[in-house]
Amino acid sequence: MVSVFREKVTAAEIKAKARELGADIVGIADSAQLNANPPDPADPRIPSNISDYDADRVIVVGKRLSAGVTRIPRWDERHKYYNDELTLTALEEITLSLVLWLEQKGYPALIVPPTHVDPWRYQGDPDKHMKPLLPLEYAAVEAGLGTLGLNRQLLTPEYGPRVMLGGVLCSAPVDCDTKREVALCHGPACGRCLAACPGDVVKHWNRDWDACDKFRSPHGFHQLTGLFTQIMSEPDKAKQKALLRSEDSFNIWQSILRGAGVLTGCRRCQDVCPVGADYEKMLKDALDQIPEDNDAKRARRAAMAAAEAKGEMPDAHREHARWIGKPPAKA
């Protein structure tokens, strides 16, 4: 686009606009850093794969999750699914409005969907984890918004992991934010995410994504295909009809209507994380106790902490140290 049609815009103006539109946090990442450092080099999901022309910057915006539903301890609670889906809707409206504002200034821009995956990469197995088009948690780290935690979720100083992220690609020549150097996560020395996980999917600076998806998307594609397979395989017509009219079928139908339980689901690890200014102020009294913890989980955390004390870090930490950060000072 000819530069005469562009208004001068600054990073501060972009951030102010995003906050005016409803974003709670916002940062700007240099796409060159994401292109050069894909989290998974074997399967790079990078800005330059999305646009050849308008991907020099990734504007990462975050919307906090409601404290009221966070305080509900059950992970499989529809109030949480629904409220989180509304937060996602608000986030999509914020990013769309930001795109239109940038284009009024003369800078073509596009939304990076926070939840959509690339259907061309689907391999026919609903049990396998599907990655988003761009890993916004990593973009958020590059944009100075936080660091990754023990289970690879983004932690922010303001809200810990209790944020939803959206992204906007553009090539406005504005300053980028700098990455935080010190980790916000205390790792297995804390380990509350591991303790609370109902699926026990949290590993040593990693997670079992395939297993996690069954909780993060409890009425999603995996459950849909499983139910359809069960119905088709049932020879008894009465039982087949009962399956079609079952609670599982109803939950999937209701989830398809809004996305609640498909795009939103379990976030128990986010609920109990003590990182974030919001935890002490609004959450600790309801979430301090973790009934899901047990001796086996405590033993695993102790083994992880002992290994780290001897300097034995897992490959997952070494591979993602750029986004995890340096260990925080001990209290």
> Would you say residue 4 has pLDDT above 80?
no
Q: Residues 153, 270: contact at Cβ < 8 Å?
A: yes
> Would you say residue 57 has pLDDT above 80?
yes
Q: Tell me the mean pLDDT in the region 9-24.
A: 98
Sign of the alpha-carbon dihedral angle for 88, 89, 93, 99:
positive
DSSP three-state, residue 109 = strand
Q: Of residues 180 and 221, which shows the higher confidence score?
A: 180
Q: Residues 111, 144: contact at Cβ < 8 Å?
A: no
Q: Residues 131, 47: contact at Cβ < 8 Å?
A: no
> Would you say residue 2 has pLDDT above 70?
no
Q: What amino acid occupies position 177?
A: D
> Would you say residue 230 has pLDDT above 80?
yes
Which backbone phi and psi does 39 adopt, to 5 degrees? -55, -35
From 50-64, 147-161, 253-267, the region with the lowest mean pLDDT: 253-267
> Would you say residue 173 has pLDDT above 80?
yes
Q: Torsion-angle region of residue 187: left (phi > 0), alpha (psi -120 to 50) or beta?
A: left
Distance CA 174, CA 8 (A): 9
Residue 331 confidence (pLDDT):
58
Please tell me the pTM assigned to this model.
0.92
- pLDDT band per the 50, 70, 90 thresholds, residue 324: very high
Element (H, E) at 221: helix 221-233
Radius of gyration in angstroms for the set of CA atoms belonging to the chain, rounded to a whole number? 21
The neighbouring-strand residues paired with 169 are: 58, 110
From 12-16, 109-113, 210-214, 253-257, the region with the lowest mean pLDDT: 253-257
Residue 222: count of CB within 10 angstroms of its CB: 17
- pLDDT band per the 50, 70, 90 thresholds, residue 301: very high
Residue 67: count of CB within 10 angstroms of its CB: 15
Q: Tell me where in the chain the CATH 3.40.109 domain(s) lie.
A: 3-170
- pLDDT band per the 50, 70, 90 thresholds, residue 5: low
Residue 115 confidence (pLDDT):
74
Q: Residues 139, 60: contact at Cβ < 8 Å?
A: yes
> Would you say residue 259 has pLDDT above 90?
no
Q: Tell me the mean pLDDT in the region 114-131.
A: 75
Residue 119 confidence (pLDDT):
67
Which string of DSSP letters, residue by residue, matches 111-154? Answer: EE-SS-B-GGG--S-TTS---BSS-HHHHHHHTTS-EE-TTS-E
Residue with tokens 């103006």: 13
- pLDDT band per the 50, 70, 90 thresholds, residue 3: low
Q: Tell me the mean pLDDT in the region 140-150.
A: 98
The neighbouring-strand residues paired with 72 are: none
Element (H, E) at 84: helix 78-104
* CA–CA distances in Å: residue 145 to residues 23, 46, 58, 105, 156: 13, 18, 12, 25, 6
Which two structure tokens, joined as six digits, stand for 303?
A: 């083994």
Residue 143 confidence (pLDDT):
98
Distance CA 323, CA 145 (A): 11
From 44-53, 62-71, 138-147, 210-219, the region with the lowest mean pLDDT: 210-219
Residue 312: count of CB within 10 angstroms of its CB: 10
Element (H, E) at 260: none
- pLDDT band per the 50, 70, 90 thresholds, residue 295: very high
Residue 175: count of CB within 10 angstroms of its CB: 12
The neighbouring-strand residues paired with 163 are: 64
Residue 113 confidence (pLDDT):
82
> Would you say residue 78 has pLDDT above 80?
yes
Which residues touch 72 (CB under 8 Å, ≥6 apart)?
Answer: 79, 80
DSSP assignment letter at 73: -
Q: Of residues 178 and 115, which shows the higher confidence score?
A: 178
Instruction: Please state, rounded to an integer, the average pLDDT across all residues of the chain.
Output: 92
Residue 21 confidence (pLDDT):
98
> Would you say residue 258 has pLDDT above 80?
no
Burial of 287 (0-12, 13-18, 19+ CB in 10 A): buried
CATH 3.40.109 corresponds to the domain 3-170: yes
